[in-house]
Amino acid sequence: MATRRFSERTHEIPPKASIRRGPTTDEEVFGEAFNGQVVGRFIKYVAVYRKLLFVAIAAVLVFTVSSITFPLIVKSVYDEALSEGAPDRSRLAMLVIVFLVAVGFNFIANFFQELIVGRVAERILFDMRRAMYLHLQRISLSFMDKTEIGKLMSRLQGDVAALQEFVETAVFAIGDLVLLVGIIGAMVWLDWRLGLMTLAVLPTLLIVRIIWLPFARRAFLRARVTSSIVSGALAENINGVRVVQGMSREYVNYDLFDIRASDNLRAANLASKLGVMMLPIVDTLTGAAMAIVVVMGGFFVLGGTIETGVMVAFVLFVQRFFDPIRSLTMHYNVLQRAMASGERIFEVIDVPVDIKDKPNAIVLEDIDGSIEFENVTFGYFPDQPILKDISFKVKPGETVALVGPTGSGKTSTTALLHRFYDVWEGSVKVGGHDVRDVTLDSLGKQVAMVLQEPFLFSGTIFENIKYAKDDATREGIVEAARAVGAHEFIMKLPDGYETELEQRGGNLSLGQRQLISFARAIVADAKILILDEATASIDSYTEMLIQQALHRLLEGRTGMVIAHRLATIRSADRIIVLQDGRIIETGHHDELMELGGLYAHLYSMNYASFDDIPDELIQRATQAAQESAT
Partner 1 sequence: MYVRITRMALHYRWRLAIGLVAIFFAAGFQLAIPILIGNAVDTANNLFGDADARAKDALVLTAILLFAVSVGRGFSAMVQNYMGESIGQHIGYELRMLYYEKLQRLSFSYHAGVHTGDLITRGILDVEGVRMFVQTALLRSVFLVVLIGTGMYLMLTKDLQLGLISLSFVPFVAWRATVARLRLRSNWYSLQEKLSSLTKVMDENLGGIRVVRAFASQKHEMMKFDGASNEALSLANIQVGIRATNISLMSLAFMLAMAAVLWVGGLRVIDGEMTAGGLTQFLAFMSILLQPVRQIGMMVNGYARGAASGGRLFSVLDLEPDIQDKPGAKDLEITEGVLEFHNVSFGYEGEHTLNGVSFKVQPGHTVGIVGPPGSGKSTIAHLVPRFYDPVDGYITIDGQDLRDIKLESLRRAVGVVEQDTFLFTASVEHNVAYGDPWAPDDRVELASQYAQLGDYIERLPGGYDTMVGERGVSLSGGQRQRLSIARSIMLKPRLIVFDDSTAAIDAATEQRIRAALAELTKDRATIIISHRLSSLMHADEILFIDEGKIVERGTHDELLALGGHYNDLYELQIRPSEDSHPLDDEGGAS
Binding residues for partner 1 restricted to 297-326, rule: CB under 8 A: 297-299, 301-302, 308, 311-312, 315-316, 319-320, 323
Of 137 and 384, nearer to partner 1 (C-beta) is 137
Instruction: Name the residue nearer to partner 1 (CB basis): 147 or 427.
Output: 147
Q: Which is nearer to partner 1, 152 or 202 (CB)?
A: 152
Q: How far apart are CA 56 and CA 127, in angstroms?
A: 19
Nearer to partner 1, 93 or 629 (CB): 93
CB contact at 8 A, 286 and 318: yes
- Closer residue to partner 1 (CB): 422 or 425: 422
379, 396, 397, 444: residue in contact with partner 1 (rule CB under 8 A): 444
Count the Cβ atoms, other than its own, within 10 Å of residue 207: 10
- Restricted to residues 195-214, the positions that interact with partner 1 (CB under 8 A) are none
Which 120-179 residues touch partner 1, going by CB under 8 A?
122-123, 126, 129-130, 133-134, 136-138, 141, 144, 146-153, 156-158
Handedness of CA 563, 565, 569, 575 (dihedral sign): positive
Site for partner 1 in 75-104 (CB under 8 A): 77-78, 81-82, 84, 87-89, 92-93, 95-96, 99-100, 103
CB 310 within 8 Å of CB 76: no
235 scored as a contact of partner 1 (CB under 8 A):
yes
What is the closest distance, in whole angstroms, from the C-beta atom of residue 158 to partner 1 in the complex? 8
Please tell me the count of residues contacting partner 1 according to CB under 8 A. Answer: 178
Site residues for partner 1, window 33-72 (CB under 8 A)? 70-71
Kindly identify the residues of this chain, within the stretch 528-587, that bind partner 1 according to CB under 8 A: 530, 535-542, 544, 566-567
The CB-of-30 to partner 1 minimum distance in angstroms stands at 21
379 sits near partner 1 (criterion: CB under 8 A): no
591-620 positions binding partner 1, by CB under 8 A? 605-609, 611-613
Q: Is the dihedral of CA 3, 154, 272, 124 positive or negative?
A: negative
| Residue 392 backbone phi and psi in degrees, to 5 | -165, 165
Instruction: Give whichever of 444 and 476 is closer to partner 1, judged by the CB atom.
Output: 444
CA distance 281 to 201: 11
CA distance 48 to 37: 18
Distance of CA 564 to the CA centre of its chain: 36
Residues 474-533 that bind partner 1 (CB under 8 A): 489, 492, 502-504, 506-507, 509-512, 520, 524, 530
Interface of this chain with partner 1, residues 395 to 434, rule: CB under 8 A: 406, 418, 420
Contacts to partner 1 from residues 257-276, by CB under 8 A: 257-258, 261-262, 264-265, 268-269, 272-273, 275-276
Q: Which stretch binds partner 1 (CB under 8 A): 118-126, 177-185, 193-201, 423-431?
A: 118-126
Q: How far is CA 380 from CA 374, 421, 423, in A?
A: 19, 9, 10
Given the DSSP bridges, would you call strands 384-394 and 399-403 parallel, antiparallel or unpaired? Answer: unpaired
Which CB atom, from 35 or from 198, has the smaller least distance to partner 1? 198
The answer to whether the beta carbons of residues 609 and 564 sit under 8 Å apart is yes
In the complex, least distance from residue 320 CB atom to partner 1, rounded to whole angstroms: 7
Cβ proximity to partner 1: between 319 and 391 the closer is 319
Q: Is 561 helix (H, G, I), strand (E, B) or coil?
A: strand
Long-range contacts of 291-298 (CB under 8 A, 24+ apart): 292/197, 292/198, 292/200, 292/201, 293/194, 293/198, 293/318, 296/193, 296/194, 296/197, 297/194
Q: How far is the CB of 364 from partner 1 (least distance, A)?
A: 11
**Helix (H), strand (E) at residue 444:** helix 440-446
Q: What is the 3-state secondary structure (H, E, C) of 130-185?
A: HHHHHHHHHCCHHHHHHCCHHHHHHHHHHHHHHHHHHHHHHHHHHHHHHHHHHHHH
Alpha-carbon separation of residue 622 from 138, 210, 266, 604 (angstroms): 41, 72, 62, 13
Query: Which of 34-42, 391-399, 453-461, 475-483 is the region at the interface with partner 1 (rule: CB under 8 A)?
Result: 453-461
